Structure 1
Amino acid sequence: MTGGSSVSSFKKVIVVGSGIAALSFARTISDNCQVIMMTKNQYSSSNSMLAQGGIASAFSAHDSVEKHMQDTLVAGCDHQDLKTVLDVLRRGKELVKQLVEEGCPFDNDEDGILQLGKEGAHSTERILHAGGDQTGKTLVQFLKKQLGSHIHLYENHHVIDLLVNEGKCFGVVWKDEKGHTHTMTADAVVLSTGGCGSLYETNTNAPSATGDGIMMAYRAGAQLVDLEFVQFHPTLLTIDGKAVGLISEAVRGEGAYLEDETGRRIMARIHPQVDLAPRDVVARAIYNEQEAGHQIYLNIKGIPHFSTRFPTIYALCQQAGIDIRSGRLPVSPGMHFLMGGIMVNEHGETAVQSLFAIGEAACTGLHGANRLASNSLLEGLVSGNKAARRIEQMPKRHVKVPSVEIQEVWQVPDISKTKLRHLMTKYAAIVRHQKGLQALLAELEHVSFQPINVKDITNEQVELLNCWSLAICMAKSALLRTESRGGHYRTDYPKREDAFWRGKQIIHEKDQVQIMKNERIGVNWNVYS
């Protein structure tokens, strides 16, 4: 199969994904660009739609961007790009203010003033919510309604690979609902495909989060970075050892606390912020208690009107057969967010010309080693907005699109998703160590492969290949980082080692992995100059 030629007089952009970052991009881009949004399922199946928590922004009189920045740096264990943190928080505040002015239905108090909540590692109330615990869904629906006629959304269009020639991305390979393979060319491609929660047995992600965009970018020549930093949300509602849904951190922000079967508060002597400590701290505390044989509960007795304040969580409890009048919800940690991803510059540009990455698929330098609660929706708004502005500035190149052969035969690993998730959960989850990570790599690298023609490969096989490849990269990163920092905790290296590791990142580039100093601050990666 081959790509065709482009003769249009306006820019054509393909956006892969349909979450907050993709919608922010689409609502920002001017109408002299034709935007094709492609999502492998329905637009509503993104992680953004599941986001119960809110969006963080320094709105109150006693708050400031500088305080928000300090909380972000502390939560991220000083592994961030300082310039990016400040820029995202400043721009994000303006974009949230714009949403408020446009009538986005954020929750207000009885006087009509924005209702601000508090979540883990925040020093003050700065979390805006919508629909109580339906912020992501509300934002997605609000932004989708604002899309112009130049935005075309196609569901059940599964992008499986990128078209690249001489270091430039010029389109995608995709499959339709019937499994037929197609190509589409464009002036730029934007990956907004989310993270990789499906790599773990217990996770908060949509099933579609299989690391697709991350591995497509890697195969195309982009760099991956910080893959060892995986955030586990502390409180998933858990019945008989099986997670059935997320309990937002906002519940603890309203006064709920963690206790064991005897009523002992487990965070009392762990951290000064107690139950609102950074997520990595709380998740490890629960893990350690469970390893010691304790059952962990979230005590919600002190929250009045729980059913109206958290309608989604209340409905979840009803479906699970839990009577909230008991005041205790059984919880366990689960994989929530990947801090690492595709390395990008301040505009979302990757090392591959005309290829952008935004949202969770990208590693912008905002989150560091551990994401501050409710900073992800903010990052999605900003990264989508900035990528759109950048692409608008790109010169239109009236050149014939090269005709190239797409990869005809794929090598699919002979391993089940069930086994892959089991291995990642056992060896590369909340607590890691060298022996376990080496065992994980040995299992992953010694699988056999089944050659399958691209015409016959299924969506599930593509996802499996992406998950398997990404798992290897994550395991190698976790082995190389010989310290504990944020979401990466090793029992054989339990301390944070700033003398060697401060600012250093583990970067994957075309089957090579190396430790490099983070020198992104002040660097302008202008791949179009």
Structure 2
Amino acid sequence: MDIVEAEVIIIGGGIAGLIAAEYLSMSKNVIVITKSEIEHSNSYLAQGGISAVIDLNDKWQEHYMDTLQAGQFHNDPEMTEFLVKEGNKVIDSLSSWGVPFDRNCKGQFLLGKEGGHLRNRIVHAGGDQTGKKIMETLIGRVSGKVRVETGQYAVDLLAANGNCYGVYCKDDDGRITLYKSTHTILAGGGYAGIFSATSNAYGSDGSAVCMAYRAGAELADLEFVQFHPTLLKSEKISGLITEAVRGEGGVLVDSNGSPIMEEVHPLKDLAPRDIVSRRIFEKIHYQRTSVFLDIKGISNFKKKFPGVTALCENAGISLDAGFIPVTPGAHFTMGGIKTDLFGRTSLGGLYAVGECANTGVHGANRLASNSLLEGAVFAKQTAQYILSVKHERIPPFSFSFMQESYSAGSSSNDALLEITDIQEIMDKYAGICREEEGLKKAEYKLQLENFNPALLEQPIAAIKRLNMQTMAWLTVTSCLKRKESRGSHYRKDFPFALKEWEQKKIIRSVLRDESFTTKEATAGILN
């Protein structure tokens, strides 16, 4: 086993991991660890933009309320307030670093509108290639300043006595490396890959969350899985149709060309994602009709959405008729490793940022284009906290004890399900619509009570299966515990938790008084 030491280890090379690396590289020895090439992240593929209060007619209170409404008021109010107030600072920083955000002829940001937003406040780059443009800039900035280790699958955290000391990794050739550090940052993404239909192209097996779970870190809100309404539906679901298409005037219609969102929600096609996803799900599975995105009303579509255009062309779908076939798919996971304002978890020396973290800002359902914002905001917070810590050193621990713990147990992986079986169980029992009977069946099928592997001896393929089955079981058990319908967690056997009049009461209290505090505005109603 090789041993490598650094002051900070970052597991994951998406927007959150690289922004943390950028700030930390000023004065720390940093190593970024990725499963594959640095470009292979879901951040790189993000079509949507970053939400930020930039327009002079917009207010942070309005962005705050849109976020709470989408999250069904399950959000942490103070963390959410901090998030939306930081939006314009994020855009300014990324712009100064060289991200080419879209602007008009006067140099002003072009602000788009997406589901759940009452105002145009989405900043894009390259039309629908925001993630790609941001990641190219960040990769260029950290290159040469931090060490990047690719092709390393993070297997387990080195943890004892309530502290984290680093991470064990394994490459495709089976070589094991222990990366020891004072500060370990998990930025390994979410767990939408436990479902068969997902917009996530890379990873998303929940490995970061599972490592934290096995080490004893606190997790939260795992039942909240956001299903994006519009994945491209072809012979094989092959990509995501950004919500910005509906923001530009795209309309969801059935096989007869009739709009499907007219009587469902006041925002119609731009309603929060959980509402739109359930409507499309009902149309496809209960009414047996296909659903399409009617783009005939969008001028210069191919110029505005080059990524979507290429996606359709690669799938053999012509845009000449003006219809794109769509279906919902798992997109973003609101739950994860519980963190505070500085990314700290319940384990000393362990931090989490990005989708694997549960900061509380998304509540029960993430507002469109708040994900890149969250990754950027809290990665900076975490980095600045670590930079503020003085006279640090790795506390002593019994390394021989840790080695012994990995030589124990059986190396058999016969108890593991195949990935397709895990996904089938999740699709059937824990997808867009859930109920107790099905969830209990899933819990039984996914249990791993008698599985005690010598984890580092397992091949990477088996470790991935273990992570996915563990993550699926954790999600299902969380679904069973929440006996209400809220946001993305829809229980057919339980009603919605928050009455409409309660939501309106909060909205009025916020928008009436610009000097409100989140504690006063939400007292007694949130959570």
SS at match of 1:326: coil
- The equivalent position to 2:436 in structure 1, one of 426, 434, 437, is 434
Contact 2:36 2:151 survives alignment (8 Å):
yes
1:405 corresponds to 2:402: yes
Aligned to 1:469: 470
1:65 to 60, 85, 88: 60
Question: Pick from 369, 381, 390: which aligns with 2:376?
Answer: 381
Q: Deviations over 1:335-369 (max 9, x none)?
A: 00000100001100000000000000000010000
Alignment of 1:250-329 (within 5 A): 250-291=244-285, 292-329=287-324
The whole-number CA distance in structure 2 between the counterparts of 1:216 and 1:456 is 16
How far residue 150 of structure 1 moved from its aligned partner, in angstroms, is: 3.9
Q: In the aligned structure 2, how far is the partner of 1:470 from the partner of 1:400?
A: 30
CA RMSD in angstroms, aligned pairs only: 2.2
Give the aligned partner of residue 212 of structure 1: 207
| CA apart distance, 1:497 | 5.1
Instruction: Give the alignment of 1:12-27 within 5 angstroms.
Output: 12-27=7-22
Please give the alpha-carbon distance, in whole angstroms, between the structure 2 residues aligned to 1:222 and 1:12: 21
Write the deviation string for residues 388-445 of structure 1: whole angstroms up to 9, x where unpaired.
0111122333466432424234564321000000000110010000111011111112
Which residue of structure 2 aligns with residue 496 of structure 1? 497
For residues 494 and 243 of structure 1, the distance between their equivalents in structure 2, rounded to whole angstroms, comes to: 31
Opposite residue 32 of structure 1, the aligned amino acid is S
Match of 1:122 in 2: 117
Residue type at the aligned position of 2:129: Q
**Structure 1: where are the runs of 5+ without partners?**
503-517, 523-529
Q: Does the residue aligned with 2:107 lie in a helix, a strand or coil? A: coil
Q: Give the secondary-structure state (helix, strand or coil) at the position aligned to 1:218.
A: helix
Please tell me whether residue 203 in structure 1 is matched to residue 198 in structure 2.
yes
Matched, 1:137 2:138: no
1:325-364 pair list within 5 angstroms: 325-364=320-359
CA–CA distance in 1 between the matches of 2:417 and 2:224? 24
Aligned residue number for residue 510 of structure 1: none
- From the two aligned structures, give the one with the greater strand fraction: 1
**For the residues of structure 2 that align with 1:218 and 1:474, how far apart are their CA atoms?**
12
Q: 1:369 aligns with which of 342, 364, 368?
A: 364
State the distance in 2 between where 1:102 and 1:435 align: 52
> For residue 417 of structure 1, what is the amino acid of its counterpart?
I
Contact 1:3 1:401 in 2 (8 A): no
Which stretch of the first structure deviates more once superposed, 106-115 or 305-314?
106-115
Q: Secondary structure at the match of 2:133?
A: helix
Matched residue, 1:396 = 391
Q: Find the counterpart in structure 1 of residue 460 from structure 2.
A: 459
Partner of 1:239: 234
Distance 1:15 1:396 in 2: 20
Partners of 1:80 and 1:434 in 2: CA distance = 25
| Secondary structure of the structure 1 residue equivalent to 2:157 | strand
- 2:122 maps to amino acid: I
> Alpha-carbon deviations, 1:226-259, whole Å to 9, x = none?
011110000011014x311110000000000100
Rounded Cα–Cα distance in structure 2 between residues aligned with 1:322 and 1:69: 38
Cα distance in 1 for partners of 2:140, 2:39 equals: 13
The aligned amino acid for 1:386 is Q
Task: State the distance in 2 between where 1:224 and 1:454 align.
Answer: 21
Answer yes or no: is 1:444 the counterpart of 2:441.
Answer: no
- 3-state SS, counterpart of residue 84 of structure 1: helix
- Distance of aligned partners of 1:455 and 1:94 in 2 relative to their CA distance in 1, 3 Å threshold: closer
Q: Which amino acid is the alignment partner of residue 443 of structure 1?
A: K
Aligned residues: 497
State the one-letter code of the partner of 1:293.
Answer: R
Q: Which runs of 5+ in 2 are unaligned?
A: 504-518
- What SS does the corresponding residue of 1:280 show, helix, strand or coil? helix
Per mean C-alpha deviation after superposition, the further-off stretch among 206-215 and 293-302 is 206-215
Match for residue 416 of structure 1 among 411, 415, 418 = 418
Deviation at 1:92, TM superposition (A): 3.0
SS at match of 2:205: coil
**Structure 2: how far apart are the matches of 1:447 and 1:172?**
25
CA–CA distance in 2 between the matches of 1:414 and 1:38? 26
Specify the SS of the correspondent of 2:47: coil
Describe the SS at the equivalent of 1:239.
Answer: coil
Task: Assess if the C-alpha contact under 8 Å between 2:155 and 2:456 holds in 1.
Answer: no
TM-score w.r.t. length of structure 1:
0.90
Look up the SS of the partner of 1:174 in the other structure: strand
User: Residues of 2 paired with 1:150 and 1:324: CA distance?
Assistant: 44
Q: TM-score, normalization: structure 2?
A: 0.90
Are the aligned partners of 2:25 and 2:146 in contact in 1 as well (CA < 8 Å)? no
> 1:11-68 CA deviation, whole Å, 9 max, x = no partner?
7100000000001101111532100000011111111011001110011111121111
Q: 1:494: Cα distance to partner?
A: 2.9
Tell me the alpha carbon deviations over residues 194-222 of structure 1, each in whole angstroms, 9 at most, x when there is no partner. Answer: 00121001000123111001010111111
Q: Percentage identity across aligned positions?
A: 40
Flag the 1:39–1:102 CA change in 2: closer, same or farther, 3 A: closer
Distance 1:114 1:194 in 2: 29
Does structure 1 retain, via aligned residues, the 8 Å contact 2:416–2:466? no
Q: State the partner residue of 2:512.
A: none
Deviations 1:151-197 (A, max 9, x none): 11111011111111211111110112311112121111000000012
Deviations 1:419-473 (A, max 9, x none): 0000001100100001110111111127874x65445411111111111111111
Kept in 1, the 8 Å contact 2:72–2:498? The answer is: no
> What does the per-residue CA deviation read over 1:462-519, in whole Å, with 9 as the maximum and x for residues that have no partner?
11111111111111111111110000001111322579x99xxxxxxxxxxxxxxx9x
**Does the 8 Å CA contact 2:166/2:181 hold for their aligned counterparts?**
yes
Contact 1:33–1:150 (8 Å) recurs in 2: no
Q: Equivalents in 2 of 1:3, 1:460: separation in Å? A: 23
Deviation at residue 319 of structure 1 after TM alignment:
1.0
In 2: Cα distance, 1:482 partner to 1:400 partner: 42
Q: Judging changes above 3 Å, is the alpha-carbon distance between structure 1 residues 297 and 217 closer, same or farther for their aligned structure 2 residues?
A: same
Distance (Å, rounded) in 1 between the aligned partners of 2:197 and 2:394: 48
